[in-house]
Structure 1
Amino acid sequence: FSKTLSASMRCGYIAARPDWIEGLTDLKVALSFGGGRLAAELVLGLLKDGSYRRHVEGLRQRLVRAMAETAGRLAGLGIEPWLMPRGGLFLWCRLPGELDAGAIARHALAEGIVLAPGNAFSLSQTARHFMRFNVAQSADPRIYGVLREAMQAAASRQPA
């Protein structure tokens, strides 16, 4: 529940065979992973009274809007989604003109903007012309100004 409620809400669940539950519970207690009883009781209350369902629906709607807004702003820079997801946090995009995402990310980082180059998510290192954008963290207009500058700088360093 840390992804949908709060980063500090260290509470989750496991679905397992009944004969594993006691051992897994003992392991959790022994290793002290996860939140305490208070977090579990809070989550249980949210699940029982329907608050969690309403919260997640509102979150989903905000993410759909953020996805559309982010895609629109990126399109203004010539960056198009590789595919447009129906939901979620991330937008995977191909950069125009074979630009190097790593170079763009380094330039942006020097300006205080953290961008995610595709190769950070590619074991084969074949995603150098892609970037991943977290739409929940992409509302700041400064991101797009720095991204434009970084793309221009990367384009000027490309061989003709």
Structure 2
Amino acid sequence: MGARFTPYLSRHNSLLIAKTGGVGKVEKAREWDIPVVNYQWLADNYAGQRVEAGCQKYQLGQPCEGVSPGPYILEMINDQFKQLLFAWKMPIIVTPEQWRHSFDTKQAVENDEGVFPNKKLRSVASPSPTFFFICFVFQTHS
């Protein structure tokens, strides 16, 4: 999209996306003539629609409908979304040999001290206390 997010507001920001008005950032943005829009502006922009910050639909207080649509609605918004979601509809067929090979490779990488030097657990660990031990200690201290 070519945008950059900043957690702060300054005169260098070109737009403020806010949920409600009446907060400090919104008031300061209006004082500095920085356009303030709702989340619908970001969602429509991301979907590839032509958006204008001054449009009534993107003003604070307007409902943000369809901001988080399901996958079927998302496909209808844009052909690019349809192409991206197409891969999720096709099953991936993995043979038992491929599964076993990938599992063995994963185990080899995880157990390699050169890759994960801090993963080795201490081999000598004290056993967990039993219920009877906890009851015995509790009775002796009370």
The TM-score with structure 1 as length reference comes to 0.23
Q: Which has the higher contact order (CA 8 A, sep 6+)?
A: 1
Question: Which one has a larger percent strand, Structure 1 or Structure 2?
Answer: 1
The TM-score with structure 2 as length reference comes to 0.25
Q: Which has the larger radius of gyration?
A: 2
